[in-house]
Amino acid sequence: MRSYAQSIALYERTKKSLAGGVSSNVRYAATPVPLFFVRGEGARLYDVDGNVHIDYVLGNGPAILGHAPQPVIDAVARSLADGQVFAAQTPRETELSERLVRLLPGAEVVRFATSGTEAVLMAMRLARAFTGRDKILKFEGHYHGWSDQAYISARPPLNEAGPADAPVPVAGSPGMPASVLGDTVVCGWNDLDLLRQALERHKGEIAGVLMEPMMVNGGAAPPEPGYLEGARDLCREHGALFLCDEVITGFRLGLKGAQHRFGVTADLAIYAKAVAAGFPLALVAGRRDVMNTLLDKGVMHGGTYNGNVQSMSAALAALDVLQADDGAVYRDLERRGTRLMQGLAELAARHKVPARVQGAPAIFQVHFTAGPAPRNYRDAVACDRDRALAFHRLLQEEGIRVNQQAKFFLSTAHDDAIIDETLAAADKVMAQL
């Protein structure tokens, strides 16, 4: 058994000065306590107890190039002497925005922010200002940040969520005012009939339909064929904006994200995480006429750290790597991720563990179920949660770090030798399961 004595002691010490002992509630979900790490390099993390972990959490997605990628570190190091924040523009913002407009589907203009949560709020505000409507339609199991306006029905208990064909909005946290629920319509995902019915029930009220183009947080479920195109067309029919939350999928499912992968273009798209390979950066990209409400209608968006020198430098360096040789790093990432997905599915079958591995090679999840792979949130929560937790704990003892949902993020640093090591560890774990 691995020792976590130093992490346990440091967690107890930290709780005396840091609320809850962590800086994000998501970090509570660790075994045996929130672990403390001293260093990350490539695909590995090193904790205070000297344990080495092959990391498939990757900061919940940002570290697309692995931890401390040298080209990004070098670019940021060079930028440090230039300053950090000026409350003014820098030429790096111009260069990055021009590159993103050339690259991203439907991106006529972009606006930078610092976190995915605030970029989602910006997109929602833009949609409301542009349409003159108040309501946002979102989907069960889709996570769009922890704000009052967005943290609704992200992981609702099914005994509170209402019927599957007409879910009720469920606040995700104490302290959220009931008033925000009235501005939110919730729908089941991956079913065009349900979306059509929800839009008809709220005809003329929906400013925007907000979704993860692949449901990552609620179960790594891809869209059904034709679903995204159908959702876009329903938005147009009802005068609502189609909003894609690519905070996770952007720059992870490919250089141009999920919209390009699945062949659909949103009116506005939100990006964060992988865009700066670990440095804090988010953005909203999309139609010029919608984005111009920032100027034409005086829609407020601000942020002291928006466009800061280091994040701009990191993103430019990351794009250099990701775009090199027409995105060659993605071809390797797809190949290795596919091999890992197939290997895990074969191990589960060999050891007679009922499991489905689904998602995309750069982000997928192992669902412990004898039934079909989940296609929406309610399918996902019906899977065996206890077995997923056991899988997480047993893998950690073998030096493999995944989250408690048994979700895998891959980076370009996960080479073939690391995939081999991961599958060897998973073989032992599946035998125990």
**Residue 254 Cα to chain centre, angstroms:** 14
Q: What is the pLDDT of residues 156-187, one digit of tens each?
A: 999 999 999 999 999 999 999 999 999 999 99
pLDDT mean across residues, the chain:
97
Retrieve residue 241's tokens: 């904006």
Closest CA to 308 of 96, 74, 107: 96
Average pLDDT over residues 213-238: 97
C-alpha to C-alpha distance for 370 and 87, rounded to whole angstroms: 55
pLDDT of residue 52: 98
CB-CB neighbours of 180 under 10 Å: 17
Q: How many CB atoms lie within 10 A of CB 108?
A: 14
- Of the chain, the percentage scoring pLDDT greater than 70 comes to 100
Q: Which one-letter amino acid corresponds to residue 199?
A: L
343 pLDDT band, cuts 50/70/90, is very high
| End-to-end Cα distance, the chain | 17
Cite the active site residues.
143, 245, 273
Task: Classify 209 as helix, strand or coil.
Answer: strand
Tens-digit pLDDT profile for residues 256-304: 999 999 999 999 999 999 999 999 999 999 999 999 999 999 999 999 9
Q: What's the CA gap between 393 and 387, in Å, rounded?
A: 10
3-class secondary structure, 249: coil
| The residue type at 189 | W
Q: What is the pLDDT of residue 53?
A: 98
Distance from C-alpha of 232 to C-alpha of 409, rounded to nearest angstrom = 28
Distance CA 300, CA 178 (A): 24
Give me the residues paired with residue 152 across strands: 171
Beta carbons within 8 Å of 252's beta carbon, 6+ residues apart: 61, 64, 273, 274, 362, 363, 409
Q: Domains plus CATH for the chain?
A: 5-68+328-432 (3.90.1150.10), 70-320 (3.40.640.10)
Q: What is the pLDDT of residue 400?
A: 98
User: What does the alpha-carbon distance between residue 376 and residue 220 come to, in Å, rounded to a whole number?
Assistant: 9
Q: 295-325 pLDDT, tens per residue?
A: 999 999 999 999 999 999 999 999 999 999 9
Rounded to whole angstroms, the Cα distance separating 408 from 80 reads 33
Write down the pTM of the prediction.
0.96
What mean pLDDT is predicted for residues 45-49? 98
378 vs 139: CA distance, rounded Å: 11
Determine if residue 404 is left, alpha or beta; phi over 0 gives left, psi from -120 to 50 gives alpha, anything else beta. alpha
pLDDT at 1 (0 to 100) = 87
Sign of dihedral through CA atoms 371, 377, 378, 381?
positive
Half-sphere exposure of 164 (CA within 13 A, CB side): 8
Rounded to the nearest 10°, the torsion over CA 60, 64, 70, 72 is: -90
Whether the CB-CB separation of 142 and 245 falls below 8 Å is answered with yes
Strands 184-187 and 135-139: parallel
CB-CB contact of 289 with 264 (8 Å) = no
Band (pLDDT 50/70/90 cuts) for residue 29 is confident
